[in-house]
A and B are shown apart, each in its own frame.
Chain A
């Protein structure tokens, strides 16, 4: 029932199927009624025809006894229990007893039809339903003729036929009718399923496009849709475009704010450094804290917006290549071996290129600061996740310090330049994207930073 409420296809299918069955049921019932009426009318017309024929052939002989001068035309009247019968009764008159079955068709054989005495008027035809010979149920009509001569008994003319003469053709009609209606119902249902599939195909296509959007394989919903859906798609694209513009604007503003704050911070720090003293020391420490706060909140604000934005995807290899070029240049004097172990060209991150560069930039920068000779980065696909591992051959970190290192503003060694936010920012960004950062000991003895991120 729940599925019915949520599935458009099920609703349409069930609704239309019910309608088809109801319509065909009504049509079948109506046709059956019409045919039944027609057969019944025919049956009665035939009985009347035989009654008229019987009346026409009835005569009275010289002894005053009624006789049938000629044989009635229908052969069933001569075959015993054939289903069509006639009978002439003499009704009682003063001094003359009544005699049912005075004359009978041969088909009645020795059976006498017993008709209730309901005294029909002269020329009036009455209908009755009576048991007949051979267990048959009969429909009959009767006509009473009264002779003109006074004192002569009245005669009752009866024609009867087996009820099955109505039911048999009706049954013969109903069966093929039911088969035809069933075939029609099946054909309509098949056509309905095909039509639903065809008609709802654009919705399926839209769903596939939305899946691609969610997985970051595209930034908007492309293509033409039927006029009923296109406005929805256009609105969706419009909202996506606005969101993207909003995020970019927010990023630019956050960047501008950082820029606007950091330059005066530089001026203050430099001015303080020029005149050493307690005030200078205070300014220096506060400038350091302010810088940490700006970096942290800038990174978070940017990623919080982008992580919720659908349709974001970027290839990993170009982002890593750019960072490796940067690191090799920044650490040129230390002649570090900064190597990419593996990163397939098709590997992609489901998110903003800037954010993955922010995470990997911090990890690589941290590794380069501590490494003695070698820094490695390895990118692998693990199910639906990217597993990126950055290792250095530096002194590494004791296990007890690892949790502390992911806290904001903690630095493993104050002597190494840096704000101390790097790993905490990476951890924050990874979590915003539903990933994780874990630190451990590299095979070479240094720090191993393992980043898990959603693959695109």
Chain B
């Protein structure tokens, strides 16, 4: 799952990004409204955490521009501005949730999970696909009820598949899910991670569609 964090306070941004990464998310960070708007407009994210008091372009303007351009990813506003009229303005600008500072990281994580869950039309924090069960709260995966030991990258890939079971996911999108925007990307490693993942999962659960991408097969129920 790939998230965009737009927060101008760099210490706080690092703390949030660290917590989100530890929870299995790939996080891109922007420290001003212009950069944040650009990333949100050009890239695909599963959710965005947006501060309101940003340099260069304020958060509400960033959000309004995205929405008027048709970008519909879930957005959580994270701000110190706790007045109710500001919350109404944020929601009316197109935000999906609103969290005020200071906050507990657990609450932020729960809100992000809920946003992503809602965006995929689910009501539970658990994803199921055949013998697989993925708990987004604890970032753990179970195969036939037994915990599966996955690396961070393997978890990110499997989470991406399990959010969209039976759906073709292009290779480039999987690369995006694994690597943050500003990190060194090695697209050839995707095959390596897919190979490792396949070894830990039942045979043929992850299909390769040559030249197109990969797909998590939905077993007949």
* B-binding residues in A (CB < 8 A): 255, 258-263, 265-271, 273-274, 287, 291, 295, 322-323, 325-326, 329-330, 332-333, 353-354, 357-358, 360-362, 417
Contact between A273 and B104, CB atoms less than 8 A apart: yes
A266 to B12, CA, bound (A): 7
Q: Which residues of A are found within 8 Å of B118, using beta-carbon distances?
A: 332-333
Question: Which residue of chain A has the shortest Cβ distance to B89 in the bound complex?
Answer: A322
Against A, the Cβ 8 Å flags (1 = close, 0 = not) of B41-84 are 00000000000010000000000000000000000000111111
A207 to B114, CA, bound (A): 57
Contact between B101 and A357, CB atoms less than 8 A apart: no
Contact between A295 and B82, CB atoms less than 8 A apart: yes
Q: Would you give the shortest CB distance from B136 to chain A, in whole angstroms?
A: 14
Q: Would you give the shortest CB distance from B104 to chain A, in whole angstroms?
A: 7
Which 4 interchain pairs have the tightest Cβ spacing? A361-B84, A262-B80, A322-B88, A259-B80
Contact between A358 and B81, CB atoms less than 8 A apart: no
Question: Which residue of chain A has the shortest Cβ distance to B53 in the bound complex?
Answer: A259
Q: Which residues of B are found within 8 Å of A255, using beta-carbon distances?
A: 81, 83
Given A323-B88, A326-B88, A417-B107, A263 and B96 touching (CB < 8 A)? no
Contact of B84 among A267, A291, A332, A362 (CB under 8 A): A362
Contact of B102 among A262, A322, A353 (CB under 8 A): A262
B82-100 residues at the A interface, CB under 8 angstroms: 82-85, 87-88, 91-92, 95-98, 100
Given A273-B105, A333-B114, A323 and B97 touching (CB < 8 A)? no
Contact between B114 and A357, CB atoms less than 8 A apart: no
Candidate in B81, B118, B123 with the most chain A CB atoms within 10 angstroms: B81
Does B9 make an interface contact (CB < 8 A)?
yes
Does B38 make an interface contact (CB < 8 A)?
no
Contact between B97 and A329, CB atoms less than 8 A apart: yes
Q: Which residues of A are found within 8 Å of B96, using beta-carbon distances?
A: 329
Q: Which residues of B are found within 8 Å of A353, using beta-carbon distances?
A: 85
Q: Which residues of A are found within 8 Å of B16, using beta-carbon distances?
A: 270
Contact of B12 among A261, A263, A273 (CB under 8 A): A263
Contact between B80 and A263, CB atoms less than 8 A apart: yes
Contact of B88 among A262, A287, A325 (CB under 8 A): A325
Q: Would you give the shortest CB distance from B63 to chain A, in whole angstroms?
A: 13
Q: Which residues of A are found within 8 Å of B187, using beta-carbon distances?
A: none
Contact between A361 and B12, CB atoms less than 8 A apart: no
Candidate in B79, B101, B105 with the most chain A CB atoms within 10 angstroms: B101
Given A265-B102, A333-B118, A326 and B91 touching (CB < 8 A)? yes
Q: Which residues of B are found within 8 Å of A269, using beta-carbon distances?
A: 102-104
Candidate in A260, A326, A353, A361 with the most chain B CB atoms within 10 angstroms: A326
Contact between B91 and A267, CB atoms less than 8 A apart: no
Q: Would you give the shortest CB distance from A352 to chain B, in whole angstroms?
A: 9
Does B172 make an interface contact (CB < 8 A)?
no
A65 to B85, CA, bound (A): 128
Contact between A326 and B84, CB atoms less than 8 A apart: yes
Does B149 make an interface contact (CB < 8 A)?
no
A280 to B87, CA, bound (A): 30
A330 to B90, CA, bound (A): 12
Candidate in B16, B95, B104 with the most chain A CB atoms within 10 angstroms: B104
Given A258-B80, A326-B84, A333-B114, A271 and B15 touching (CB < 8 A)? yes
Contact between A287 and B91, CB atoms less than 8 A apart: no
Contact between B82 and A258, CB atoms less than 8 A apart: yes
Q: Which residues of B are found within 8 Å of A417, using beta-carbon distances?
A: 107
A258 to B103, CA, bound (A): 14
What are 19 contact pairs spanning A and B, CB under 8 A? Answer: A266-B103, A267-B9, A267-B12, A270-B15, A270-B105, A287-B102, A322-B85, A322-B88, A322-B92, A323-B88, A325-B91, A326-B98, A329-B95, A330-B98, A354-B83, A357-B88, A358-B84, A361-B84, A361-B88
